[in-house]
Structure 1
Amino acid sequence: MISYEPLFRTMKEKGITSYKLQKMGFNRATYYSMKCGKSVSTNTIDLLCRLLDCHVEDIMQYIAENDEKTRQSEFSSFGELHHLVC
């Protein structure tokens, strides 16, 4: 599974909000799709790397299925909220 959690950490570290990212030219609907874990194109990843001046690993990471099950149990309350939003 691909996780975009590194994107949200990178944005926080750089002081970039979703609003500011939108003002920089990033589509808000795409941002929310990523927030819900949906797939995006490599063009989208490329744009984020340019806008945030970062590397691909600062945007996304691969999580093996076994790791995902462990992670879901650790963040079950987040998962419940995540499903309400997405």
Structure 2
Amino acid sequence: MIKYDKLWETMALRGITQYMLVKDYHVSKSLLHRLRNNQGVNMNTIDTLCTILHCNIEDIATHYDGDEE
């Protein structure tokens, strides 16, 4: 399972809000919904977020094996 908890921390450190992602970077609200609910997104999305936030993949997502959290 992939979780995006680190995304919100990285956004806070960079001073970027969800509102800014929608209005300034044209990220869809449905994509934000998927990220908030740890649903699947494609690698192009992760690449875009890394570019916006000037960070690495591990600053956005964490992989957990099975039921491990």
TM-score, scaled relative to structure 2: 0.87
Change (3 A) 1:19 1:63: same
TM-superposed deviation, 1:64? 2.5
* Aligned partner letter, 2:60: I
TM-superposed deviation, 1:51? 1.0
2:12 corresponding residue in structure 1:
12
TM-score, scaled relative to structure 1: 0.72
Give the secondary structure class of the aligned counterpart of 1:45.
helix
TM-superposed deviation, 1:66? 4.8
Q: List alignment gaps of at least 5 residues for structure 2.
A: none
2:68 corresponding residue in structure 1:
67
Give the secondary structure class of the aligned counterpart of 1:67.
coil
1:35 corresponding residue in structure 2:
36
Choose between structure 1 and 2: higher helix proportion: 1
The count of corresponding residues between Structure 1 and Structure 2 is 68
The higher-RCO structure (CA 8 Å, 6+ apart) is: 2
Calculate percent identity across the aligned residue pairs. Answer: 37
TM-superposed deviation, 1:16? 1.0
Q: What stretches of structure 1 move > 4 A for 4+ residues in a row?
A: none
Larger Rg belongs to: 1
CA RMSD in angstroms comes to 1.2
2:56 corresponding residue in structure 1:
55
Q: Which moved more, 1:59-68 or 1:37-46?
A: 59-68
Distance in 2 (CA, whole Å) between partners of 1:49 and 1:28 is 18
Q: List alignment gaps of at least 5 residues for structure 1.
A: 69-86
